[in-house]
Amino acid sequence: MISRRKLVLGLAGAAGAAALSRALAPGAPRQIAARRALKLPIAPSGWPFPGARVVAPSAVFPPDFGVRRIYLDAGHGAPGNTGNLSCFCVDEQDFTLAAARALAERLNATGRFEARVGRAGDRPLPYAERVEDAARWGADAFVSLHSDVRGRIETWSPGQGRQCPLSLAAPGFAVLWSDEGDPALCALRLALARGFARRMEEAGLLPYDGAAYSGLYEPDTAQPGVFLDRRPPGQRIFVLRRPSMPSILVETHHALDAREATRWTEPATLDAFAAAAAAALADALGGAGAPASALGGDGAPVSPPPT
């Protein structure tokens, strides 16, 4: 097993390790106060704390599944759009590119998918070009990767001379989808979103509770970690409503949470996420997801019948 100190050193250098250890130490006053306020156990356990286990869910492929094309959109890296700045002062566009490449490599290794990362990182790429590119390529699904920013932001120093934003109160992943457009396509988006969240939860990742999403995204009634885009029309997320194939956006974690940002650099996390993605894609594209009848005639989502 790799020690927490080693993991942190690998990411942020000795000074960052010391700062993170201080902030996350079981006895650290701020940590205790935060956990009391959140009604969480004082002793750190579970995601995203160091040492909390992640596992690789098993995918079930129907016999006629074949090889499916998955377009991986590394979020941001668009003109004038680098995304957020993480708690280690890493641009979101750089995190998403690394995460998308790691996911593509792992999906391709299954032999069940042909995954492609939409941008190379050599030039800013407009989102419209990505959506057109995915359609031209004949993608079966469009998965956009991002990291999120939520909650009250403080400043900390993860390394000498660097001041970066920090927020430890709102960890977790979120999977976003849109109910705009053709009801059959919307049903596939919902099946994909629920499949991703269900399999990510199974992998040991934490679904975000959505406390900061009020007015932006509406929580799903059936699956924790799934949210419907409810921004005012005209401000809704382009890659959720425009691709002609089912599309979702995965906020992998809270970029300002030093525990999550650290864990998302670990191969074990990338392996578990990729396995969760493969299982979710097999479920949704293989026909085991929500049927088209999961949407009402007006395109509004309805809860599935209790089982």
Of residues 112, 146, 254, 263, which one binds Zn ion by CB under 5 A?
Answer: 146
- CA 182 – CA 300 distance, rounded (Å): 11
In this structure, how many other beta carbons lie within 10 angstroms of the beta carbon of residue 233?
8
Given the rule CB under 5 A, which of 32-40, 52-60, 140-148, 256-264 is the region that contacts Zn ion?
Answer: 140-148
- CA 276 – CA 196 distance, rounded (Å): 7
Q: Strand (E) positions, 180-288?
A: 217-219, 226-229, 247-254
- CA 294 – CA 221 distance, rounded (Å): 12
Structure tokens at 132: 């057109």
Q: Is 77 in the site for Zn ion (CB under 5 A)?
A: no
Each residue 84-123 as x (binds Zn ion by CB under 5 A) or -, in order, gives: ----------------------------------------
Output 252 or 265, the one with its CB closest to Zn ion.
252
Output 75 or 246, the one with its CB closest to Zn ion.
75
Least Å distance, CB 77 to Zn ion, is 10
Of residues 16, 50, 57, 75, which one binds Zn ion by CB under 5 A?
Answer: 75
Least Å distance, CB 93 to Zn ion, is 9
On the 0-12 / 13-18 / 19+ scale of CB atoms within 10 A, 244 is middle
Output 17 or 277, the one with its CB closest to Zn ion.
277
Output 19 or 74, the one with its CB closest to Zn ion.
74
Given the rule CB under 5 A, which of 25-33, 144-152, 286-294, 295-303 is the region that contacts Zn ion?
Answer: 144-152
Output 75 or 158, the one with its CB closest to Zn ion.
75
Q: How many amino acids of this chain bind Zn ion (CB under 5 A)?
A: 3
Question: Long-range pairs for 7-15 at CB < 8 Å and ≥24 separation?
Answer: 7/50, 7/262, 7/265, 7/266, 8/262, 10/265, 11/88, 11/261, 11/262, 11/265, 12/88, 12/158, 12/159, 12/262, 13/158, 13/159, 13/160, 15/157, 15/158, 15/159, 15/160
Least Å distance, CB 48 to Zn ion, is 19
What is the number of the residue whose Cβ is closest to Zn ion? 146
What residue ranges bind Zn ion (CB under 5 A)? 75, 83, 146
